[in-house]
Each structure stands twice: as C-alpha cells, then as structure tokens.
Amino acid sequence: MRTFLALPLPPELARKLCAAAHAALGPRLEELRLVRPDNLHLTLHFLGVTSAEVLARLPAELELALAGRRAPQLAIRGSGGFPAGSRKHVLWAGVAGEPRELEELGRLVSACRAALAASGHPLPDSSEPFVPHVTLARSRDGLAAPRAWRELEFDFAWRAARIDLLESEAGAGRTRHPSLWTRALD
C-alpha cells in the first residue's frame, strides 16, 4: 500500500478552491484532471510503499512525535505549478502564513519524519526542499499554466486542525484517499 501524511482541507474551503479552479481552468479541462474537494490536502510527507510493520507502529510513533504540536494558522494564497519549467504537470494553490506559523508547519513535517524513522520506514537521503502547496489539478502530458490560472489570487484563512495518514490509491476510476489514521491538532 502507498501512503502519505497530509493536512486535509475543511470541506467548505475545499469547495471554494475547487470552484475557483474550475472557473479558471474551464476551457482547458480536457487536458487536466481536477482534484475532487474531498481529496484536497497539503502533503507533509509522501511515504510511498509502506510495509504492514510500519503501518502497525506508525500511529503510536506519530502520537509521541506530535505531542505539543498545535494547529498552524495558515492561508491559501496565490497559485503555481510543478515542475518549474514551462510544462506543468501539477497546478496548485500556495500556502502562506506568519513566520511562526510556517515554523509550526515545519515542525509538523519534522515530527512526521521522526515518527517514520522510529517506525522503521526508510527516509530519502537528500530530501527536496519542502514547498507547501495544495494540488488542485493534474495534467498527464503537461501544459503551460493558463493565464487565468496564473492570475488567480486565492486568499483564504486556514487553520489546519487535523493530520491524516492517507492511502494514495491510484485506481483506474475515481481517485480516493481513504484515511488510515487521524489526529486533531489543537
């Protein structure tokens, strides 16, 4: 099973983001797949294939590592895409916040990594810099981000009050991310 750790978006905020993405990308929807509102999240760490042993140990290690952590007060702001070049495979909404709130987000990422190490899950040697984002659309072939997308000016407050371990299910039909574990952040 492939899994990832993420902060899910509350339903009302997710619906607003999806509606804005739909409006901006409407003419290009044949080239893109929009993420459904109930699948929107900020990925903290992608685990990839996760063994049954790690899945059994991880919840307790996450509880330990997340002790004292709180819900960061963030904002969904601006839009962008990956990779950096002209043909984007992922279009996303940006995540911003006051420095101490972004530090708290960074501490959540560190806590996830500590829990994974303690559970025996392999961590990559050199990790890419963490760019917090919420993926809204994917393109298999890649496309130049449309102007309407680049001009999107999201600005929504978001208190990230839950962390989930989610299954990354890449089925033929609708993508779903069943939750394997969840914890509220105060």
Number of residues that bind ligand 3AM (CB under 6 A): 7
Q: Kindly indicate which of the ranges 16-24, 41-49, 54-62, 107-115 contains the residues binding ligand 3AM, using the contact rule CB under 6 A.
A: 41-49
The vertex-85 CA angle with 79 and 90, nearest 5°, equals 45
Instruction: Give CA angle at 172 (168, 176), nearest 5°.
Output: 35
Q: Per-residue DSSP letters for 31-67? A: G-EEPPGGG-EEEEEEEEE--HHHHHHHHHHHHHHTT
50 has which bridge partners? none
Q: Contact with ligand 3AM (CB under 6 A): which of 38, 43, 55, 161? A: 43
- Please, which residue, 36 or 100, has the CB nearer to ligand 3AM? 36
> Minimum distance between the CB of residue 165 and ligand 3AM, rounded to whole angstroms?
12
| Placement of tokens 């509606």 in the chain | 19
Question: Based on CB atoms, which residue is closest to ligand 3AM, 60 or 113?
Answer: 113
Interface mask toward ligand 3AM for 92-121; x: CB under 6 A: ------------------------------
Strand partners, 76: 95, 156
Residues that bind ligand 3AM in the complex, under the rule CB under 6 A = 4, 43, 46, 48, 90, 135, 168
